[in-house]
Structures are given as C-alpha cells and as structure tokens.
Amino acid sequence: MDGHVNGTVVLKQGRAKPALQRHPWVFSGAIERIEGAPTDGDIVDVRDAGNNWLARGYLNRQSQIVVRLLTWHQDQAIDADFWRRRLAQAVSGRHRLAGDPSTTAYRLVHAESDYLPGLVVDRYGDWLAVQFLTQGVERWRAEIVSALVSLVTPKGVYERSDVDVREREGLPQRRGLVWGEEPPEHIEIVENGHRLPVDIREGQKTGAYLDQRENRARLAPFCLGADVLDAFSYTGAFAVAAAAAGAERVTLVDSSGPALDLARRAMALNGYQRADYVEGDVFSVLRKYRAERRTFNVIVVDPPKLAASSREVERASRAYKDVNLLAFQLLQPGGILFTTSCSGAVSADLFQKIIFGAALDAGREAQIVGWLSQGSDHPVALTFPEGLYLKGLICRAL
C-alpha cells in the first residue's frame, strides 16, 4: 500500500476547533468541500476555511464520520512504518499485562483511544482477534497484520469483522483466519488466575468481555459464603470469579444456550462442579424469583449494550431501571448490587440517576460503595471522551 495524500477536505468557517483539539473525527456537517478525486479509504489532508493545514487522516464519504484523523504533523507520512510505530506504541502500553502470568487475555489495540481509529485487536493467549471496522484500516490490513505478527509473535491471527458497523462503512462483514494457525475450538485463557475457555470464532464480540476483567477482581471480596446471582452471565467469567472467592452458591442466567455451555466448562476447569445454569430472559427470571421470594447476597447485572445511540437512551434507561429495580428487590439486607452499563450513550451521571430511581421504586435504601469502569487495557484518550463506554456501581442495599 502506498499512503500518498489523495485529496484535501476543506472545513467550513468556524468548524476547525475539534480538529485543532485533536479530536479524531471530522463529521460530514463540518465539511465545505473535498478537493481532488480521492476514493473512500484514501489518505487526505484536512484544512480550515483559510486553507491552513490541520491534520491528515483517511476518508469515507459513506460514513457520517467522513475523515478519521491519524496525524497532526504535516511531515508525517501514512505508510507501513506509520502503522507499525502506532501498533508498537499500543503494544508497549500493555507491557505490564504482557508480563503478568495471571492474565493472558487483554485488549492490545483500542481503536481511536490508541490513536488507531477503526482498529481493535484483542489478545487471547497465543492468538490475536482483530476487527477492521472502517474502509481506512481495511486498506492497510496486510501491513497491520504483518506488524502485529512481528510485534507479538502469535500462533495465529483471526479476523472478527463480522459486525454491523462494517455495513455503515460500505464493507461486507468478514470472519476467518488471516495469518498462521487456526485457533482451537476453545482457547484456554487465564484471567486473574482463573482458567476460561474462549471461542474466538463464534463467541460474542471477539470471544470475551475483556473490558470487565478488573471489575471481576473487584467482585471477589463480596463473595465469601455468599449466594450469588450472575445475571447476563455470558460464559460465566463473573461466576467463576465469585466461586473462586468462596461463594456458597452461584446462579447464572443468560438467554444464550451456547454461552451457558461454555460457562459450565469454565466452572469445571476451575474445579467448581456446583452451580445453577438458567437459560432464559433475565427480566422474566428475576420476576419469577421475586414471586418465589428467592433472595441473594450478591447480584451482578451486566446487560448487553441497551442503547446503541443517543436516540435509544430513553428506552434503554427504562430497561436499566427495570432490571436493577428487580435486583434491588431480590437482595437480602446488606446485599451487594454490582451493576454496569456498556452503552456509551448512557453517561455515568445518568446511570447513577437510573440506579437511584430503581432503589427508590424498590423501596430500598442503598449506598454506593464502589465505582466501576473499563479496564486499563481499554484506555480513553483525553482527546476522545467518546472512548469511555463502560460504567458501573457497586451498591450496598440496607
């Protein structure tokens, strides 16, 4: 690939501030005109209305985000060496995790927040799972894969670009081995010292919810002797953490049968034979528990992204409130609600208000005893506050 600059995007008068402040996105509404004949995926320069050079990035007119910016240095070329250096920077930011034998899976590249817009790379032991989310990084896939291979020497690189956002970019979904050896059906990773089987071919996201790793460690101190409910358990990573921390009883609820099958394997791998696996809708299962007066000491509520955009915030807020209200009603006095939201469109502030409303309507006094966020391998660039998406609270109900 050659990365010569193939056009210039000129911004409207008064619309240069985000680019000047190094925000990586140029929206269509900020653009006056595009000069030259660039094709989508090409490298373009961005200039302000007075023709001053601002930044350089890659173009896609099919997206609302027409340019994703890569550099603010006019003499920096976007070539194979550029990608290699950016990747090396992201990899070196994880050197502490890389040297920690109690965790073998973590995010290596967190897209915009690692100054690599559109690119996600997760490490699962000897395999890498990659997502090329935009035309701009799709163009450089060969260079990116080869740089990753030389930087981390994996056994194989598996692509999981089977996500809807690719279609908004005008790209087909894609999945499969891109380099090296096929991964086994289940890669066994270690997280906080616990063994977890991960299916990077068929699993959700790139196989696991790595962003919750530090939160799983935060759950442990509440679990000794506890009756724990893991709602939206997926493959049971919270349940394993709870069992390892001495939970008396663990109940997992998820709507996905395959996820629960993997959860059974995960528990068995760590030597925990007894747990209850409930396949079903969390909202109905929790209502049934309420009717049966079943209670718990600790409840983890980790729903999927309920608001995909700001338009869905109101509906999502009602769902977050409903499920957390039910959870408060099922908690024993002194019980712990460990609740999260991975919807970027729901702010930490709003989430706290939702949890307040849920406690109030459940008739429970509750205190916040901890704040949760995404792990350090999912950083947030200060120039890109949108990178913060996971938030949560640890609440004690009286």
Pairing of strands 105-110, 119-124: antiparallel
Beta carbons within 8 Å of 248's beta carbon, 6+ residues apart: 225, 226, 227
Which CB sits closer to ligand SAH, 37 or 291?
291
d(CA 85, CA 205): 26
Output phi, psi for 135, to 5 deg. -55, -40
- Is 233 a binding residue for ligand SAH by CB under 6 A? The answer is yes
Instruction: Count CB neighbours of 2 within 10 A.
Output: 9
Using the contact rule CB under 6 A, the part of the chain among 249-257, 286-294, 366-374, 375-383 near ligand SAH is 249-257
* Helix-, strand-, coil-residue percentages of the chain, each rounded to 5: 35, 30, 35
Tell me how many residues contact ligand SAH (CB under 6 A).
18
Among 70, 282, 350, 362, the residue binding ligand SAH under the rule CB under 6 A is 282
374: left (phi over 0), alpha (psi -120 to 50) or beta: beta
Using the contact rule CB under 6 A, the part of the chain among 33-41, 101-109, 232-240, 288-296 near ligand SAH is 232-240
Which residue of this chain has its Cβ atom nearest to ligand SAH in the complex? 234
The token duo for 393 is: 């609270």
- Is 255 a binding residue for ligand SAH by CB under 6 A? The answer is yes
Closest approach, Cβ 241 to ligand SAH, in A, equals 9
Closest approach, Cβ 69 to ligand SAH, in A, equals 31
- Is 192 a binding residue for ligand SAH by CB under 6 A? The answer is no
Q: Which residues are catalytic?
A: 342
The token duo for 348 is: 């930490």
- Is 212 a binding residue for ligand SAH by CB under 6 A? The answer is yes
Question: Which string of x and - marks every residue 70-99 that binds ligand SAH (by CB under 6 A)?
Answer: ------------------------------
Which DSSP string do the residues of 309-324 spell out, in sequence order? SGGGHHHHHHHHHHHH
The token duo for 296 is: 């718990």
The token duo for 305 is: 């992204």
Spacing of C-alpha 198 from chain mean position: 16
- Is 272 a binding residue for ligand SAH by CB under 6 A? The answer is no
- Is 384 a binding residue for ligand SAH by CB under 6 A? The answer is no
- Is 238 a binding residue for ligand SAH by CB under 6 A? The answer is yes
Which CB sits closer to ligand SAH, 139 or 391?
391
Binding site for ligand SAH (CB under 6 A): 204, 209, 212, 232-235, 237-238, 254-256, 259, 281-283, 302, 304
